Amino acid sequence: MKLGVLALQGAFVEHINILKELDVEPVEIRRLSHFSDDLDGLIFPGGESTAISKLLNESGLLAPIKDAVLGGMPAFGTCAGMILLSGQVEGLGTGTIPVLDVLVRRNGYGRQLGSFSTVAHFEGVGDVPMVFIRAPYILEIHGSVEILTEIDGKIVAVRQNSILATAFHPELTENADIHKFFIEMIASQ
Ligand code: GLN
């Protein structure tokens, strides 16, 4: 299996390292020439969603990636990556690659006190460590979106068909279970 990791900004190295551990071939996507339709899926890392969105535009990667993901390429977004994949972003309107039928709130835990780690239940996986850094959360889900984790009434992990999104950073923990979950999602399609 070959998974692309968007490597424009943010925490992409950690995703690449986890994929290597799981014997999945990571492909760093920095430029248009790095992206091709034959990838089995694409990871959108955390960072700053506005910066990643701007770099996607400037690099010319936005159009082909948007076409591929809206056309069914499996995708996994963490934190800023979740924001990029959301259909609606509170205060901003339509998301950059609007593939998930959700309304997301950026910096949902506040900007200053917004970083913490916890252990919580992830549907189909069990208890996993979760690191939140100025994280978003989901305010509304629609259509076929399934909630995978909810903490204190806030939705922080969802799946819709071949799209997975977490408000937290599973790549910043020692636990690779969420990446395994994504890989199994792709394999079982
Ligand atoms: N606060 C960032 C944003 O709105 C997301 C933070 C993160 O990815 N850790 O894009």
Query: What pLDDT sits at residue 141?
Result: 98
What would the pLDDT profile of 39-89 be if each residue is shown by its tens digit? 999 999 999 999 999 999 999 999 999 999 999 999 999 999 999 999 999
What would the pLDDT profile of 92-133 be if each residue is shown by its tens digit? 999 999 999 999 999 999 876 678 999 999 999 999 999 999
> Shortest CA distance to 46 belongs to which of 73, 13, 74?
13
Catalytically active residues are 79, 169, 171
Query: What pLDDT sits at residue 189?
Result: 86
Mean pLDDT within 172-189: 96
In sequence order, the 6+-apart residues with CB closer than 8 A to the CB of 72 are 162
Ligand 1 near 5 CB (within 6 A): no
Whether the predicted model's global pTM rises above the 0.95 cut:
yes
Q: Give the Cβ contact number of residue 37 at 10 Å.
A: 9
Site to probe by mutation for ligand 1, drawn from 96, 134, 137, 168 as the one with most ligand atoms within 8 Å of Cβ, is: 134
112-120: list long-range contacts, CB under 8 Å, 24+ apart. Answer: 117/173, 118/151, 120/149, 120/151, 120/156
Residue nearest to atom 4 of ligand 1 (CA): 106
3 state SS of 22: coil
| Encoded tokens for 122 | 């992830």
Ligand 1 near 134 CB (within 6 A): yes
With a cut of 70, say whether residue 17 has pLDDT above it.
yes
Radius of gyration of the chain (CA): 15
Query: What pLDDT sits at residue 133?
Result: 95
What would the pLDDT profile of 122-168 be if each residue is shown by its tens digit? 999 999 999 999 999 999 999 999 999 999 999 999 999 999 999 99
Query: What pLDDT sits at residue 169?
Result: 97
Q: What is the DSSP letter of 38?
A: T
Torsion of CA 183, 173, 155, 107, to 10 degrees: -120
Whole-number Å distance, alpha carbon 131 to ligand 1 midpoint, is: 12
Burial class (CB in 10 A: 0-12, 13-18, 19+), 103: middle
SS (H, E, C) 76-131: EEECHHHHHHEEEECCCEECCCCCEEEEEECCCCCCCCCCEEEEEEECCCEEEEEE
Mean pLDDT of all residues in the chain? 96
